[in-house]
A and B are shown apart, each in its own frame.
Chain A
Amino acid sequence: MYTTRLFDIGVGQTARVESLHADGAVRRRLLDIGLTRGTRATCLYAAPSGDPKAFLIRGTVIALRSEDSARVQAQAVLPVSQKEVHAWA
Chain B
Amino acid sequence: MGLTVGSTGKNAQDSQLVIQKKSPEDRVIALAGNPNVGKSTVFNELTGLNQHTGNWPGKTVCNAQGTCIHKGRSYVLVDIPGSYSLMALSAEEEVARDFLCFGGADAAVVVCDATCLERNLNLVLQTMEITPRVVVCLNLMDEAKKKHIRLNIRELEKRLGVSVVPASARSHKGLDRLMDRVEAVTQGDAPAPRSVKYPQSLEAALALVQQPLAPLLEGRLAPRWTALKLLEGDPVLLHTMAGFLGFAPQENPAVAEAIQKAREILSEDGMEGEALRDAIVTSVYQVAEDVCRGAVVYEDAKYNERQLKIDRILTSRLTGIPIMLALLAVVFYITIAGANLPSQLLSEGFLWIQEQLTAWFAAINAPVWLHGVLVLGVYRTLTWVIAVMLPPMAIFFPLFTLLEDLGYLPRVAFNLDHTFKKCCACGKQALTMCMGFGCNAAGVVGCRIIDSPRERLIAIITNNFVPCNGRFPTLIAIISMFFVGGSFFLGESVLSALLLTAVIVFGVLMTFLISRLLSKTILKGVPSSFTLELPPYRRPQVGKVIVRSVLDRTLFVLGRAAAVAAPAGLLIWLFANVQIGGVTILAHCTSFLDPFARLFGMDGVILMAFILGLPANEIVVPIILMAYLSTGSLLEMGNLMELKTLLVQNGWTWLTAVCTMLFMLLHWPCSTTLMTIKKETQSWKWTGAAFLIPTLTGLLLCFLVANGARLLGLA
Cα distance, A30 to B122, chains bound together (Å): 14
Taking a contact as CB atoms under 8 Å apart, the answer to whether B536 and A47 are in contact is no
* CB of B301 within 8 Å of the partner chain: yes
With contacts A23-B274, A34-B285 taken as known, whether A48 is within 8 angstroms of B321 at the C-beta atoms is yes
Q: Given A63-B417, A65-B421, are A86 and B530 neighbors across the interface (CB < 8 Å)?
A: no
User: Is A46 part of the contact surface with B, judged by Cβ < 8 Å?
Assistant: yes
Closest to B320 in A: A48
Q: Which of B84, B119, B413 meets A59, CB within 8 Å? A: B119
Given A32-B87, A52-B417, A59-B119, also A89-B113 (CB < 8 A): yes
The proximity string for A residues 50-89 relative to B, scoring 1 for CB distances below 8 Å and 0 otherwise, is 1110100111111111011000000000000111011111
In the bound complex, CA of A83 to CA of B533 (Å): 21
Task: Say which one of B201-209, B304-312, B698-706 lies at the interface with A.
Answer: B304-312
Known: A32-B87, A59-B115. A44 touches B308 (CB 8 A): yes
Which of B156-164, B275-283, B484-492 is the interface stretch? B275-283
Q: Give every chain B residue within 8 A of A49 (Cβ-Cβ).
A: 317, 418-419
Chain A contacts for B535, CB-based, 8 A: 61
* Closest-CB distance, B262 to chain A (whole angstroms): 22
- Indicate if the CB atoms of B285 and A48 lie closer than 8 Å: no
A89 and B147 form a contact (CB under 8 A): yes
Contact indicator B529/A26 (Cβ below 8 Å)? yes
Q: From known contacts A33-B531, A65-B530, infer whether A88 and B317 are also in contact, taking CB-CB under 8 Å.
A: no
The answer to whether A47 touches B301, judged by C-beta atoms less than 8 angstroms apart, is no
* A-B CB contact pairs (8 Å), 9 listed: A47-B315, A52-B414, A58-B118, A59-B119, A60-B119, A61-B311, A62-B531, A62-B532, A89-B143
- In the complex, are the beta carbons of B417 and A48 less than 8 A apart? no
With A and B bound together, what is the CA distance between A83 and B301 in angstroms? 5
Interface pairs A-B: 5 shortest CB-CB: A59-B116, A89-B115, A48-B320, A49-B418, A83-B301
Q: How far is the CA of A38 from the CA of B625 in the complex (A)?
A: 67
Do residues A45 and B530 form an inter-chain contact, with CB atoms below 8 A?
Answer: no
Q: Answer yes or no: B685 CB below 8 A from chain A CBs.
A: no
* Cβ < 8 Å to A, chain B residues 364-388: none
Considering the chains assembled together, what is the distance between the CA atoms of A30 and B528 in angstroms? 13
Within the complex, the shortest CB–CB distance from A79 to chain B, in Å, comes to 12
On whether the beta carbons of B301 and A48 are closer than 8 Å, the reply is: no
Cα A52 to Cα B530 with chains together (Å): 9
Q: Are B116 and A88 interface neighbours, CB within 8 A?
A: yes
A65 lies within 8 A of B529 (CB): yes
B316 at the interface (CB under 8 A from A): yes
- Asked if A36 is at the interface (CB within 8 A of a chain B CB), the reply is yes
Known: A28-B89, A63-B417. 7 other contacts (CB 8 A): A26-B529, A30-B529, A31-B282, A36-B278, A48-B316, A54-B311, A67-B529
Q: A58-B119, A62-B534, A65-B421 are in contact. Are A86 and B303 (CB under 8 A)?
A: yes
Judge whether B436 is part of the interface by a CB distance below 8 angstroms.
Answer: no
Q: State how many angstroms separate the Cβ of A31 from the closest Cβ of chain B.
A: 4
- Give the residues in chain A near B311, CB-CB below 8 Å: 44-45, 54, 61
Q: Looking across the interface, which residue of chain A has its beta carbon closest to that of B419?
A: A49
The residue in chain B whose Cβ has the minimal distance to the Cβ of A58 is: B119
Q: Which residues of A contact B421 (CB under 8 A)?
A: 51, 65
Residues of chain A contacted by B117 (CB below 8 angstroms): 59
Pick the residue among B315, B451, B533 that contacts A60 (CB under 8 A).
B533
